[in-house]
Structure 1
Amino acid sequence: MLAIITPVRSLLVAIFVMMAGSGFLSTLIGLRLERAGSGTMVIGLIATAYFGGLVLGALRAGDVVRRVGHIRAFAAFVALLSASTLTYALLQQPLLWAVLRLIDGLCIAGVFICVESWLNDRAEAETRGTVLAFYMVALYSGQAIGQLLLRSGNSAPQIPFELASILISLAIIPVCLTRSAAPALEDAASLPLRRLFAASPLGVVGAGMTGLLLGAFYGLAAIYARRIGLSLADTASFMMTVILGGVALQWPLGRLSDRFDRRRVIIACFAATLGVSIALAMAPTGAALFALGALFGGLSFALYPLCVAFANDRLLPSERVTASGQLVLLYSVGAALGPIGAAAAMTAAGAGGLFLFIAFAAAAMLAFGLWRLAASDPVPAAAQQDFQILPRTTPVAALLDPAGPEPNPENR
């Protein structure tokens, strides 16, 4: 096991440290804007700017990597992200912060493209699943642990931004000192969206709708937590609980979908997400809130890889990697729209409006899924590919799927 990750250990350390520094910024920025008296719609629009940056970066950052190489591009993206993070501590102005969040999203997408394409080049076909699993652990554990840094601002409000900037800057070191040769980033093939939708309407709509509900959550969950009376420390714990719950349930639900009709598992997850969201909208307290948060994370985080797996079941093997890249872009577009809708719901219905909006999105997807269940036949069990957990980052992450193409040995 250690021999498999040794060639990529510097990349895994870098992504862990970077996510520990940047993964809590959405929570922190939402809380600071709330405390300064910004309206819910303003907070939602600033959250949307971040996801818009992710979409822009996923589409354009690859050009930078091809032009200057992985190590220089990684250093440039991380340096700009670190500078952006420090700028939040200098001036709290919503328009400026929206621009900074757009820059943050673009930079993080660039970092993901560098790391994921590099991991794909280092991994052998038979070890991709293991490399991907360690990458997911590094990414989500860093994001979860980073939530604890929210508590560092009690003595001085700028400290969380400074700590975030320090960690983000430190992420450059293991990459710049690596002995591993950086690969060439190849152009990705294209798959018309019409062809993808015709092959798997449920997979396409499900990926976009999952982005809608998770974008809403990441953008405004901290505001929800504070408005129902949680302390800053409990808000950090709630966010961490949701993320860790999301990691815990993805594999069991995925294995369940391998054994049964995957459409039914997807529909059941959306139905359960609907129920949990309604319960969270009622603002439970104590252990019930954290239990429901963990369950929400487990269900909602599993939806995207389930939708990708189902779409891949209905595609040719040669189309699967490109399709997965298209689906992560659809997810990102949905995530950019989610905070706006959730902000409007919270403005109308209070804190619980966040989860009412998520419940509405889950209900719409549940209805669509039931229609697709009646309108189409299941994929034969023998034709289903094995479920694989995939990050919701950039189209390059699809290359880490064990079903993807062979890495180019000339780039090693």
Structure 2
Amino acid sequence: MNPTRPLPTPALAATDWWSVATVTIGITVFAVAQGLTYPLISLLLAERGASDAMVGLNAAAFMLGLATSVLVVPALTRHLRAGQAIVAGLIGAAAILVGFAVTDALATWFVLRFALGFCVNAIYVFGEAWLNAATADSVRGRVSGLYGAGMTTGFAIGPLAIPVMGTDDGLAFAACAVLVSLTAFGLALMSRRASVEPDKFALIDLPHFARAAPLLLFLVLAFGFVDGTVLALAPLHLTAGGASVSAAAIFIAVTHMGMIVAQPFLGLLLDRTDRWRVATGCLVATGVVFGLLIVVPATGTLVWLLGALGGAAFFGIYTSALAILGREHGGAMLVAGASAFSLAYAAGGMIGPAATGLLADAVPGATFAPVALLGFGGALLLILRR
């Protein structure tokens, strides 16, 4: 049984590479900001005595902002071009990063984390809808892999800034704000060369898409769960096991290096085989790797290899979902799908860190157990439903 019903999509004769470049650069720089803030905020909160549960709830505030902003996306599609919306999101993110640099009040950080999620949703929704609208299906897997490689490169660079700039005086936040601001200016110029624009959509399209593609949304929810959990709580898992703060930050970078290396190969695989089977394989690999990370010593050498493999596996879930979205949906439903992806990612990103943080407080060392169970359970779900 196929639970998704593909909608007719006009064939695109050639890929608009200006659109692809604009979207990919935008998501790469945003990922630098997210890759920096997740582990840095977690480590700073832990230094101030916050529990794992509090760290997880703070990470969930970002996802709540991401989900809330979906309510304004339809209005933005009527008044802004995709490139303008992405630039606005980057400018907002830069201003919020400055806020992190100048204050250390916990309540304010919850507000700033929520606002950061609200601003960057434009980058997710408009970027992914635009990317799929501008890409010919014959190269969709490879373009999705290119987009994923850009995103994961940003995620890898972000944590590496922590050992270089340190965790004191807000320098890392301020430097990231400057980078995001400069990129917003460059993308404002680049987006004028793009020749493709995604369709408009209304909020009523969201439940239509959810009914048409429940398994697709499950893939993105699973990715959000794992991504949020790893970014927010993996540093604490490693430091609790005896690793240094620098090693914990580098571990996050290593997971993203695994993603970067895997993306070109995954893109080719998605163009040459059934994309649902690729997604199932990524779920199984996620379960295996994070199951092993529960028992592997945090200071051992094997943890680095597993980190790279785990990053490649769980990010592959999302790359597969993005490629399937572009093949099976088009027009307004493509933009609705990108918005639904944002909601599903936010839901997973809220549930993952919050629930896992509570579990880690109750059962020390069990941080990755929910991730492993989700990987195996998700793969079984796809096998049974498809």
Compare CA radii of gyration and give the structure with the larger one.
1
* Structure 2 residue 315 is matched with structure 1 residue 301: yes
Cα 1:274–1:181, aligned 2, differ >3 Å: closer, same or farther?
A: closer
Q: Structure 1, unaligned stretches of length 5 or more?
A: 377-412
Aligned residue among 141, 157, 160 for 2:169: 157
Q: Distance in 1 between matches of 2:255 and 2:147?
A: 19
CA RMSD of aligned residues (A): 3.7
Retained in 1: the 8 A contact 2:57–2:353? yes
CA apart distance, 1:177: 3.6
User: Where do 1:31-180 residues align within 5 Å?
Assistant: 31-64=43-76, 66-69=78-81, 73-116=85-128, 132-154=144-166, 156-178=168-190, 180=192
Q: Distance in 2 between matches of 1:84 and 1:318?
A: 33
Partner amino acid for 1:246? M
User: Where do 1:7-406 residues align within 5 Å?
Assistant: 9=21, 12-64=24-76, 66-69=78-81, 73-116=85-128, 132-154=144-166, 156-178=168-190, 180=192, 186-188=199-201, 193=207, 202-250=215-263, 252=265, 266-284=279-297, 285-307=299-321, 321=334, 324-325=337-338, 326-350=340-364, 352-372=365-385
Q: Distance in 2 between matches of 1:261 and 1:150?
A: 40
Q: Deviations over 1:219-240 (max 9, x none)?
A: 2222222222222332232111
Partner amino acid for 1:329? L
TM-score between the two structures when normalised by the length of structure 1: 0.75
Structure 2 residue matching 1:286: 3-state secondary structure = coil
Structure 2 residue matching 1:89: 3-state secondary structure = helix
Q: Deviations over 1:110-164 (max 9, x none)?
A: 2344545665676677776665554333322122122211113438432111111
Q: Distance in 1 between matches of 2:269 and 2:357?
A: 34
Q: Distance in 1 between matches of 2:19 and 2:208?
A: 39
Cα 1:195–1:160, aligned 2, differ >3 Å: closer, same or farther?
A: closer
Cα 1:172–1:323, aligned 2, differ >3 Å: closer, same or farther?
A: closer
Q: Deviations over 1:197-256 (max 9, x none)?
A: 5x6664443432332222222222222222222223322321111112123335545665
Retained in 2: the 8 A contact 1:210–1:331? yes
Q: Structure 2, unaligned stretches of length 5 or more?
A: 1-14
Partner amino acid for 1:295? L
Retained in 2: the 8 A contact 1:277–1:296? yes
CA apart distance, 1:55: 1.9
Q: Distance in 1 between matches of 2:322 and 2:346?
A: 14
Q: Percent identity?
A: 26
CA apart distance, 1:54: 1.6
CA apart distance, 1:75: 4.5
Partner amino acid for 2:303? L
TM-score between the two structures when normalised by the length of structure 2: 0.79
